A and B are shown apart, each in its own frame.
Chain A
């Protein structure tokens, strides 16, 4: 039989339209520029046919048809605007409005509501309904970001299906039947999702609204400014809706091959820190042991004088830490000021790396576009907690899984997305290198050593399955995360990954937040003879540096060993910090300069794909604070440089000359893995004590998130996750206070009993500034064993407090 032609031609409202076979009538009409109203259909999800708003008449078909579900066929004759179709649309709207409260004046959707717009365009303009309307108690609060109004819901099921199809978290469900149907979370519990903000944007009415934006503004009050989210490193495109110099809300800005129309909740609700009351506005200088407010001139003169002094004493006595939160232009100036004028090679943005760790030996980023993930048939996560670290990438992985891809995870604890994972390789801490090496060997034909794998804690059968699939897979991808790179086996992981790359896998290095990739591109990396960030900290502790210059980072909480940072601070005569708030680093610094945020700057940033994107200043920022680039230019002038930059464009033009291929919209994809990394086949020694594993969480309480009430609520109190068996033997109950000690250092945290952490390990989420986990960690000891005991609530100063056991 002959293949059917690839296209079909149909007639819609008398117009001939040719579309690809399989296209629905609604899409065919859209292509022809004919508007058919819809509510339930959203082109990111398959059609459902729930709302009946999209009726059309098709010749030779008995009844009106829903165009969103009807596949176009050759020769179809469709009418979308005949009186019977218009009548059906009008009556359907009248039915929808029967149960609708029509409280547009107090509804946050008012002004941008599809139900309003369509009633205006297709409705009759009057109602014949005089009976009592459905009456539900409202509003219902579903956690700290979502507000539900059940009366307004038109039961289009978009929000429910978003949780099922797009995010895979089943956050919202429909309850009851018929007239009484309502959308809710089970038992009206606070919603548990990392993507719930998207249901607010796709809800075609005001049934789901945002708590942070509640009654803040009307669409006509807002100026939408294009920007790029600076949280996780994927650089999702956003609109900052600004009312009176205040960011009222953050909305996804559609970019099909990046975040598409989605955002994670950190990006959507984690912005209130921009306007926190304790933003710094005056420079601070330490005098007689106290940080006191001063003028910009005094602070800058002081810093410039000390930099010049150090330059006199010899090159290389100044260290620069940070840059991931700055724009490319700021980073370019940073590099110029310190390499060209101050003459030091010690620059590094990788604050949170361990000395000699694998992170320092490889370029960070994705080796291919994010949009290619759904085309892969095998995804392997190595020490990468994708939903916590790079949430929007998970939506792409979910698409791949829906297309039939297999997902594997090599991790020391189960992941949140475990039900989508084909093979879980939960290994003993520190064994990821051995496991990946065995897999790499097996892919190249060697038989894996079942005994070693078992000792590493993983099931050899799962490994065998993974290896067989890796050999057959189309475009397999390996995502190597911070946990693996910073662990004791980081270089072994890279070694194995390189061999997998030779066998056809694409290797992604999932590392870096904000504009880390841009900082690296602009050269905020050690120059010839320069030290890496951890080396700088070690050298500073020996008194090798006169000045430590810290910007866009908080080493006191980010550096993996708090004692190392404390020693560096103590032995460095001048520590200068640019920051938004008085962070832990700032409190101990000698000069603190108030800086501006990404929402207050023009410039460009790069995401993990190396995609160069432009951001625009949306608000002015607090009076008195200055952009990092402006501060650096002031310093340069005081140090005798005669530069003149008339704006970010001119800096960008200079950066383009220095970094070929740096164009807005272009990709500066990092090169494939290429290195000579030592492999270590030995398994770490087993320990009878509990092993401490730490990890990044999406919702934490860092300097920014703690100042965003919605996110701080979502994060919940700091806790230590313990397996119930380990808890029982120590007399710990869920929610009780527990003391975690390593040698002389101790921390008090709330115990969270969960099987999400295997026995023999405890997990502490990082990113809580009030809980200095890094005081328990040490660079000398990549695997830390801890002792855990229940303590009397009365005896402790409260969770997060430090104790000396």
Chain B
């Protein structure tokens, strides 16, 4: 009987030792939004459509991301490149590209399916808006402003 009581007290002290140990460490919570959390390298946040170093878009409008997306969040309309209007390498490019951020579950399947490494999930997690319409990210919003801005090495082939 007494033995059992001793066991309970010991257990409680062992548990409290964690409390006391952590009590004197610096806090892990941050004062968001004044202070932003650092995310891991492989964190999956908002998408970017990346470019090669020469500025050409990587996306070829193949729609593999569309078919793989489990939440049907992506819309792509392809079109044909012309010598006067060369948007991507080869014959085909995405004339329109939209992602519905309200539907996306940030699974990263689109990034995995992409044959050219065009679509990447970046580190931006501040995805909120006042209207549903503003949560449909359009191609100009998704395309990285300069090669490498989305976080993918623009010299990498795929």
Which residues of A are at the interface with B, using a C-beta cutoff of 8 A? Answer: 103-106, 110-111, 138-139, 214-216, 218, 220-221
**Partner of A221 from B60, B62, B66, B91 at Cβ < 8 Å:** B66
Which residues of B are at the interface with A, using a C-beta cutoff of 8 A? Answer: 60-64, 66-67, 78-80, 90-92, 115-116
Find out whether the CB atom of B90 lies under 8 angstroms from the CB atom of A106: yes
**Partner of B66 from A215, A216, A218 at Cβ < 8 Å:** A218
Find out whether the CB atom of A221 lies under 8 angstroms from the CB atom of B80: no
Find out whether the CB atom of B63 lies under 8 angstroms from the CB atom of A139: no
Find out whether the CB atom of B80 lies under 8 angstroms from the CB atom of A214: yes
Find the B residue at minimum CB distance from A149. B91
Instruction: List 6 other contacts, CB 8 Å, given A215-B61, A215-B91.
Output: A104-B62, A105-B64, A106-B90, A110-B62, A220-B66, A221-B63
Find out whether the CB atom of B67 lies under 8 angstroms from the CB atom of A215: no
Q: Which of B90, B91, B115 has the most CB of A within 10 A?
A: B91
The secondary-structure label for the interface of chain A is: loop
| Residues of chain B within 8 A of A105, CB atoms compared | 60, 62, 64, 92, 115-116
**A106-B66 contact, Cβ under 8 Å, with A139-B91, A215-B78, A215-B79:** no
Find the B residue at minimum CB distance from A110. B62
Find the A residue at minimum CB distance from B78. A215
Instruction: Give the docked Cα–Cα distance between A221 and B63 (Å).
Output: 9
Find the A residue at minimum CB distance from B95. A215
Find out whether the CB atom of B63 lies under 8 angstroms from the CB atom of A106: no
**Nearest CB of chain B from residue A100's CB, rounded to whole Å:** 15
**Partner of B62 from A106, A139, A214 at Cβ < 8 Å:** A106
**Nearest CB of chain A from residue B110's CB, rounded to whole Å:** 13
Instruction: Give the docked Cα–Cα distance between A214 and B61 (Å).
Output: 12
**A218-B79 contact, Cβ under 8 Å, with A105-B62, A139-B91:** no
**Nearest CB of chain A from residue B42's CB, rounded to whole Å:** 25
Find the A residue at minimum CB distance from B79. A215
Instruction: Give the docked Cα–Cα distance between A218 and B116 (Å).
Output: 18
Find the A residue at minimum CB distance from B92. A106
Instruction: Give the docked Cα–Cα distance between A215 and B93 (Å).
Output: 9
Find out whether the CB atom of A218 lies under 8 angstroms from the CB atom of B91: no
Find the B residue at minimum CB distance from A138. B91
| Residues of chain A within 8 A of B61, CB atoms compared | 106, 215
| Residues of chain A within 8 A of B80, CB atoms compared | 214-215
Ranked nearest first, the 6 interchain pairs of A and B with the lowest CB-CB distance are A105-B62, A215-B78, A106-B92, A218-B63, A105-B115, A220-B67
| Residues of chain A within 8 A of B78, CB atoms compared | 215-216
| Residues of chain A within 8 A of B60, CB atoms compared | 105-106
Instruction: Give the docked Cα–Cα distance between A375 and B145 (Å).
Output: 67
Find the A residue at minimum CB distance from B62. A105
| Residues of chain A within 8 A of B92, CB atoms compared | 105-106, 215
Instruction: Give the docked Cα–Cα distance between A795 and B62 (Å).
Output: 52
A-B contact pairs, 30 of them (CB 8 A): A103-B90, A104-B62, A105-B62, A105-B64, A105-B115, A105-B116, A106-B60, A106-B61, A106-B62, A106-B90, A106-B91, A106-B92, A110-B62, A111-B67, A138-B91, A139-B91, A214-B80, A215-B61, A215-B78, A215-B79, A215-B80, A215-B91, A215-B92, A218-B63, A218-B66, A218-B67, A220-B63, A220-B66, A220-B67, A221-B63
**Nearest CB of chain A from residue B86's CB, rounded to whole Å:** 14
Instruction: Give the docked Cα–Cα distance between A218 and B64 (Å).
Output: 9
Instruction: Give the docked Cα–Cα distance between A214 and B90 (Å).
Output: 14
Find the B residue at minimum CB distance from A103. B90
**Nearest CB of chain B from residue A404's CB, rounded to whole Å:** 46
**Nearest CB of chain A from residue B131's CB, rounded to whole Å:** 22
| Residues of chain B within 8 A of A111, CB atoms compared | 67
Find the B residue at minimum CB distance from A105. B62
**Nearest CB of chain B from residue A149's CB, rounded to whole Å:** 9
**Nearest CB of chain B from residue A162's CB, rounded to whole Å:** 26
**Nearest CB of chain B from residue A113's CB, rounded to whole Å:** 13
**Nearest CB of chain B from residue A754's CB, rounded to whole Å:** 35
Instruction: Give the docked Cα–Cα distance between A220 and B66 (Å).
Output: 9
| Residues of chain B within 8 A of A106, CB atoms compared | 60-62, 90-92
| Residues of chain A within 8 A of B66, CB atoms compared | 218, 220-221
**Nearest CB of chain A from residue B88's CB, rounded to whole Å:** 9
| Residues of chain A within 8 A of B64, CB atoms compared | 105
Instruction: Give the docked Cα–Cα distance between A110 and B67 (Å).
Output: 12
Instruction: Give the docked Cα–Cα distance between A322 and B115 (Å).
Output: 54
Q: Which of A105, A110, A139 has the most CB of B within 10 A?
A: A105
Find the B residue at minimum CB distance from A218. B63
| Residues of chain A within 8 A of B91, CB atoms compared | 106, 138-139, 215
| Residues of chain B within 8 A of A220, CB atoms compared | 63, 66-67
**Nearest CB of chain B from residue A681's CB, rounded to whole Å:** 62
Find the B residue at minimum CB distance from A215. B78
**Nearest CB of chain B from residue A662's CB, rounded to whole Å:** 42
**Nearest CB of chain B from residue A528's CB, rounded to whole Å:** 57
**Nearest CB of chain B from residue A603's CB, rounded to whole Å:** 31
Instruction: Give the docked Cα–Cα distance between A139 and B78 (Å).
Output: 16
Instruction: Give the docked Cα–Cα distance between A111 and B80 (Å).
Output: 19
**Nearest CB of chain B from residue A329's CB, rounded to whole Å:** 35
**Nearest CB of chain A from residue B100's CB, rounded to whole Å:** 15
**Nearest CB of chain B from residue A487's CB, rounded to whole Å:** 47
**Nearest CB of chain B from residue A130's CB, rounded to whole Å:** 16
**Nearest CB of chain A from residue B135's CB, rounded to whole Å:** 20
**Nearest CB of chain A from residue B23's CB, rounded to whole Å:** 56
Instruction: Give the docked Cα–Cα distance between A111 and B79 (Å).
Output: 17
| Residues of chain B within 8 A of A221, CB atoms compared | 63, 66
Find the B residue at minimum CB distance from A216. B78
**Nearest CB of chain A from residue B31's CB, rounded to whole Å:** 46
Instruction: Give the docked Cα–Cα distance between A214 and B66 (Å).
Output: 18
Find the A residue at minimum CB distance from B63. A218
**Nearest CB of chain A from residue B138's CB, rounded to whole Å:** 16
| Residues of chain B within 8 A of A215, CB atoms compared | 61, 78-80, 91-92
Instruction: Give the docked Cα–Cα distance between A104 and B63 (Å).
Output: 11
Find the A residue at minimum CB distance from B89. A106
Instruction: Give the docked Cα–Cα distance between A221 and B61 (Å).
Output: 13
**Nearest CB of chain A from residue B114's CB, rounded to whole Å:** 9
**Nearest CB of chain B from residue A442's CB, rounded to whole Å:** 60
| Residues of chain B within 8 A of A218, CB atoms compared | 63, 66-67
Find the A residue at minimum CB distance from B88. A106
Instruction: Give the docked Cα–Cα distance between A216 and B79 (Å).
Output: 7
Find the B residue at minimum CB distance from A243. B77
Instruction: Give the docked Cα–Cα distance between A215 and B67 (Å).
Output: 16
Instruction: Give the docked Cα–Cα distance between A138 and B90 (Å).
Output: 10
Instruction: Give the docked Cα–Cα distance between A218 and B63 (Å).
Output: 7
| Residues of chain B within 8 A of A216, CB atoms compared | 78
| Residues of chain A within 8 A of B62, CB atoms compared | 104-106, 110
| Residues of chain A within 8 A of B115, CB atoms compared | 105
Instruction: Give the docked Cα–Cα distance between A220 and B90 (Å).
Output: 23
Instruction: Give the docked Cα–Cα distance between A629 and B66 (Å).
Output: 39
Find the A residue at minimum CB distance from B113. A105
